[in-house]
Amino acid sequence: KQEVTQIPAALSVPEGENLVLNCSFTDSAIYNLQWFRQDPGKGLTSLLLIQSSQREQTSGRLNASLDKSSGRSTLYIAASQPGDSATYLCAVRSGANSKLTFGKGITLSVRP
């Protein structure tokens, strides 16, 4: 059974810092991995999706990498801003027809 872990549960950084959010999964045979952002009291917004054949995806200041063999993905946020404060979740799909397995998220606070 796939398990997805995100540690730490919370992170506080000063504005302008580059930061890395980690996601680990137990079964390396994945189909794809998706990173989401969730603002308080809101739904999830998809940030990046990495297929199993890819090593990384980029969107603006965000870069997500995937290392299947080690069961890890990282979300890199460059030059963090207070508006980046939110909870970031990663989710793994184990097969083409499989459901998503979510981590519990990392709550990020960027201090002005």
Partner 1 sequence: DVKVTQSSRYLVKRTGEKVFLECVQDMDHENMFWYRQDPGLGLRLIYFSYDVKMKEKGDIPEGYSVSREKKERFSLILESASTNQTSMYLCASSLQIGQPQHFGDGTRLSIL
> Rule CB under 8 A: which residues touch partner 1?
31-32, 34, 36, 41-46, 49, 89, 91, 93, 96-97, 99-100, 102-105
Closest approach of Cβ 48 to partner 1, in Å? 9
CA distance 110 to 14: 6
71 versus 105: smaller Cβ distance to partner 1: 105
Closest approach of Cβ 79 to partner 1, in Å? 25
Closest approach of Cβ 63 to partner 1, in Å? 17
- Sign of the Cα torsion 103, 60, 55, 10 reads negative
CA distance 86 to 62: 14
69 versus 97: smaller Cβ distance to partner 1: 97
Closest approach of Cβ 72 to partner 1, in Å? 18
24 versus 34: smaller Cβ distance to partner 1: 34
CA distance 40 to 56: 28
